[in-house]
Structure 1
Amino acid sequence: MSSTVSIDNHLQKLWELEAVAVLPESLHPHHQICEALYTNITVQDSHGRIIVNFPFKDYPSRLGNSAEVARRRFYAMERRMLKFPELRSQYVSFMQEYQALGHMSMVTNPALHESHYYIHHHCVLKPSSTSIKLRVVFDASCTTTSQLSLNDLLLVGPTVQTDLYLQLLKFRLFQYALTADVTKMYRQVLVDPSFRKYQYISWRDSPDSELQTF
């Protein structure tokens, strides 16, 4: 038995692989709501910085108690860190820089009587990095006593950056290519003060200090 495949089929697959979508895909209803919220609520301050709110898709009052969970997790993380002094030193330095740059501040009276959320944090090591080998990751998917997390109540917006293959195609069009890096890019976006109670964290530099809210 023998069979042959028409060259037309191969050519069709080739053009399908090389095709670039001309019309944008229709947005999911949740994406439309999230984008509308961003358009209507987002503002700029006098310095040009973007100020955003949180796009809640459900009542934030559904969040349960997160302070105790965050406290227990912090103590467990701190005990592990004490076994690795160099790692702990990098972690403390990272958080101290966070505070020195004004990207986090201490909260003297946390609004625990209102809906709020404590974000758990931990470190991620990347020994191959030439700049920062340790980064602190904030986990807003940690559930509260109501079995809901902050991420569970937030809308997810559409992907705004172009697909990778479209970026690669641009290299065919221009003679020169430039790359740039915005220092601590996500921290350049400000959160409206009324929503910062959903970004509480527990932290202290030393086990001898009192655990505080930032």
Structure 2
Amino acid sequence: MLQKLWEVEEISVPKLVSEADEFCEQYFADTTRRLSDGRYMVRLPFKSEFPESVTLGPSRTTAMGQYVRLHKSLSKDSDLRKQHDNVLQEYVDLGHMTEAEPFEVIIKNKYFFFYLPLHAVVRPESKTTKLRVVFNASRRTTTQFSLNDVLHKGPTLQSDLLGILLNWRLYKYVFNGDIEKMYRQILVHPDDRQYQRLLFRPQSSSIIKDFELKTVTFGVNCAPFLAIRILRQLAEDYLPQRAPTKFLKLDFLERRQAARRMGYCANCLASTHRLHECKSNEVCHRCGDLQHTLLHAVNNGGRSKSPSNKPKSKVVA
């Protein structure tokens, strides 16, 4: 209790960004692209040690054994087995996974494929989803490394729950929503999909077939980072064009305060970093300073500040 008291009263200190987190952010920026249909496509952030010093071993045999055992267990309850098969069949029907050739790529005894063992989590008390299919990317291969071991997890981008709840007190009305199949709205680059393979017997087949998951997959350690980062990227892509009228009516200081309160950088309005981390070179279209145009400052008389001959510098709150 005493420790928690000190933590509450302590002034928060910005967390240091690790080299791994910096790599994930830069790799995301360099490799993520948006397709013509509006969807984003990402790459999996593999560690630099892979595949030289950290390697994967065979995984298909392990995944096959797990699938056979799982189906044998679910056969005791036809309803659960049907739910399990329906979940994976939906992946096929929606185009979120596609059939693949049954082989593994091996180069100098190093495996460049990974098969995700399947597990079923049963929750009898649930009123909606009584069975949930889990993709186990932490199952180690013969090299003692799993897919999650060779991937960077990425920084935690989710906002603190306490902060979200406190922000709700600032408004008269709040809305709570859910993005259906959030992870599965994001495509994984074709060159990385062989690391998201699984085994499944479709309803129209009598044999077990190989499949590749085409989207960001729950169970892979970098999935939360990729999903939240895509949300922030989407917000950044649309924020300048769709700034809310209420925000535009605020004065300079109020806009900066609102941006900080909602978790945006007070220089560029990005949600991927904070003010002290900002490296934006965006120039205000009205005064020429290094800041977002929506954060343009005015003099006390209400007139825009004129561009100066001094070197451009960021506005610091």
Q: TM-score, normalised by structure 1?
A: 0.85
The reply to whether residue 116 of structure 1 matches residue 121 of structure 2 is no
Task: Please tell me whether the aligned partners of residues 102 and 209 of structure 2 are also in contact (alpha carbons under 8 angstroms).
Answer: no
Residue aligning to 1:151: 148
1:105 to 98, 104, 107: 98
Superposed CA RMSD in Å reads 2.2
Relative to structure 1, the CA distance from residue 34 to residue 205 in structure 2 (aligned partners, 3 Å threshold; closer, same or farther) is: same
**C-alpha distance in 1, partners of 2:59/2:102?**
16
Paired AA for residue 107 in structure 1: A
SS at match of 1:152: coil
The reply to whether residue 45 of structure 1 matches residue 35 of structure 2 is yes
Question: Where does structure 1 lack aligned partners over 5 or more consecutive residues?
Answer: 1-9
Paired AA for residue 93 in structure 2: A
The reply to whether residue 177 of structure 1 matches residue 174 of structure 2 is yes
**C-alpha distance in 2, partners of 1:134/1:81?**
11
Provide, for residues 12-34 of structure 1, a one-character-per-residue CA deviation record: whole Å limited to 9, x for no partner. Answer: x59x626774x642212211111
Paired AA for residue 28 in structure 1: S
2:75 to 67, 71, 82: 82
Q: Report the structure, 1 or 2, having the larger helix content.
A: 1
Q: Where in structure 2 are the equivalents of 1:7-86 lying within 5 Å?
A: 17=8, 21=12, 24-57=14-47, 58-60=49-51, 62-86=55-79
Cα distance, 1:121 vs structure 2: 1.1
SS at match of 1:40: helix
The reply to whether residue 137 of structure 1 matches residue 134 of structure 2 is yes
Provide, for residues 124-163 of structure 1, a one-character-per-residue CA deviation record: whole Å limited to 9, x for no partner. Answer: 2233444322221101001111111000000011111211
Relative to structure 1, the CA distance from residue 55 to residue 116 in structure 2 (aligned partners, 3 Å threshold; closer, same or farther) is: same
**C-alpha distance in 1, partners of 2:73/2:189?**
34
Cα distance, 1:111 vs structure 2: 4.6
Q: Higher relative contact order at CA 8 Å, sep ≥6: structure 1 or structure 2?
A: 1
Task: Please tell me whether the aligned partners of residues 63 and 116 of structure 2 are also in contact (alpha carbons under 8 angstroms).
Answer: yes
Paired AA for residue 104 in structure 1: M
**C-alpha distance in 1, partners of 2:25/2:206?**
43
Number of aligned residue pairs: 200
Task: Please tell me whether the aligned partners of residues 110 and 197 of structure 1 are also in contact (alpha carbons under 8 angstroms).
Answer: no
